[in-house]
Amino acid sequence: MAKDINPSNGEQPAAKKKGLNLDQLFRPATAVSTSVGTLYLYGLRTSDLSALAALPDEEPADRIRAFLPHIASRVEAKGFKDERPPLATADVDQLSNPDWEQISAVYAKTLLRGSSDGDDSLGRPEREASEPAVTFLDRLLKYEVQVQSQQLRRMREKMLESTSSIFDQVRKSSSALGSTLSAFDQFTKRAAPVEIRAPNMDHLHAMNEQFARQARERAEELEMVRLTGKMTAESAKTLKDLAEAATFLLEQWDERDKKADQSTRKQISIAVWSVGVSAVLALFALIVSGLAYYQDKDNNLAGDQWQSELIAAVREGNRQSADAKNEAQRLRDQVADLEAKIAKTASVSIAGRPATSQRKPGLNGVQVP
């Protein structure tokens, strides 16, 4: 029992120390001085490895160039509350070839140092003599992606197995503790038979009976102590199983809370972006509607002006047509008057001349002398 208590007491300070050093996980793993300034390189996250796995199978330099903003930043984060903005594209473009080699070499050493233990390190790639650091880092990151996928698969399998095994163990411990408690209750409730014997004056017989009674009482005490110890041990085992089950459930809940928090943040970000885009589109639609309104107003004014000018032109054309008709009628009347005068003059001339004289044709076939 003392051995079971001491490790638990020893684990509590370690857990507290781990809780106090939680910010260490969010701090940069190393720093590199480059031509654009000091770059802080951070450890690999699950999202970083997922982004690396999604990169196309291109040249190692292109892959590292595309992956660097996920692990590098110009800001040093002190804890999980600090923001870690990714490296800007302009800074990535300004890095020279020696900078890429230095960054790749330093980060590869950091990965090898951080995961040098364990069975997964047996198949870890090693850098060749003349291999560039960028190429080696690309191979090392591909290996990390494979290791992570295998660990996730094993974790899922172990989680499915452990979930059922933990609760089965708790049920077995609870059943054993229940049987022990039942035996202890039966033993405590069991009453010693009352024997009434005739008095016997034989001192030797009395001593034997006393010794037998003491032996029975001693056996009963030992049985009770044994049952008490067994019950205590099984209670401690059941409590330990319950603590492990509670720890496992708390870890699962914590992981689900983190996933739910990430999902909620993502949904909130999508909602905020949707609202922003909707506001921009609404503003754009308002501007377009205003421009269309003013354009329609100008078009209506121009149409009204054109219509009035067209009506005025038609009226002016009608007036000019009427004037032309009146002028034509006046000219026809004048022509008729002239023809009548000419005819009258011709008839007078014909009457005063001989009939054989030559006559000239006049207007409308009238012979003019």
Q: Quick one: pLDDT at residue 194?
A: 44
Q: Which of 254, 279, 304 is the last residue of a domain?
A: 279
What value, to the nearest 5°, has the Cα angle with vertex 15 and ends 13 and 17? 65
CA distances (Å), origin 138, targets 30, 31, 114, 142: 18, 19, 17, 6
The two tokens of residue 329 are 């009628």
**pLDDT recorded at residue 203:** 65
Q: Are residues 37 and 153 in the same domain?
A: yes
In the chain, how many domains are there? 2
* 72 and 166 fall within a common domain: no
In this prediction, residue 52 carries a pLDDT of 84
Residues 6+ apart with CB under 8 A from 163: 248
Residue-level length of the chain: 369
The residue among 224, 218, 212, 237 whose CA lies nearest residue 185 is 224
| Residue 26 placed within a domain | yes
Q: Which of 253, 234, 257 is nearest to 245 (CA)?
A: 253
Annotate 120-147 with three-state secondary structure. Answer: HHHHCCCCCCCCCHHHHHHHHHHHHHHH
Name residue 71's amino acid: I
In this prediction, residue 293 carries a pLDDT of 87
DSSP string covering 143-162, please? HHHHHHHHHHHHHHHHHHHH
Report phi then psi at 72, rounded to 5.
-115, 150
Q: Answer whether residue 49 is part of any domain.
A: yes
Answer yes or no: is 357 within a domain.
Answer: no
Q: Judge whether 293 lies within some domain.
A: no
Last residue of a domain, one of 220, 254, 279: 279
Structure tokens belonging to residue 313: 């032109």
Both 188 and 146 in a single domain? no
Q: Where are the alpha helices (DSSP H) in the chain?
A: 2-20, 46-54, 60-71, 89-94, 97-114, 133-189, 203-352
Same domain, 26 and 140: yes
226 and 141 part of one domain? no
Distance CA 122, CA 163 (A): 30
Phi, psi (deg, nearest 5) at residue 194: -90, 120
- Residue 351 domain-assigned? no
Residues 172 and 71 in one domain: no
Do 135 and 36 sit in the same domain of this protein?
Answer: yes
Question: Which pLDDT score, from 0 to 100, does residue 200 have?
Answer: 52
Whether residue 239 is contained in a domain is answered as yes
Q: Are residues 168 and 135 in the same domain?
A: no
Residues 166 and 148 grouped into a single domain = no
Quote the CA–CA distance of 281 and 162 in Å, as a whole number: 52
Query: Which tens digit of pLDDT belongs to each residue from 113-123?
Result: 766 555 455 67
How far apart (Å, rounded) are the C-alpha atoms in residues 274 and 294? 30
Q: Which of 259, 279, 299 is the last residue of a domain?
A: 279
Q: 9-33, pLDDT tens digit by residue?
A: 444 444 444 444 556 777 888 899 9
User: Do residues 98 and 162 share a domain?
Assistant: no
Same domain, 140 and 173: no
- Same domain, yes or no: 212 and 274: yes
- Sort 84 into a burial class: Cβ within 10 Å, 0-12 / 13-18 / 19+: middle
> What pLDDT score does 164 carry?
61
- The whole domain housing 232 covers 158-192+204-279
111 is a domain residue: yes
Q: Show the low-confidence residues of the chain (pLDDT under 50).
A: 1-20, 119, 191-192, 194, 196, 198, 355-358, 360, 362-369
User: Does residue 85 lie in a domain region?
Assistant: yes
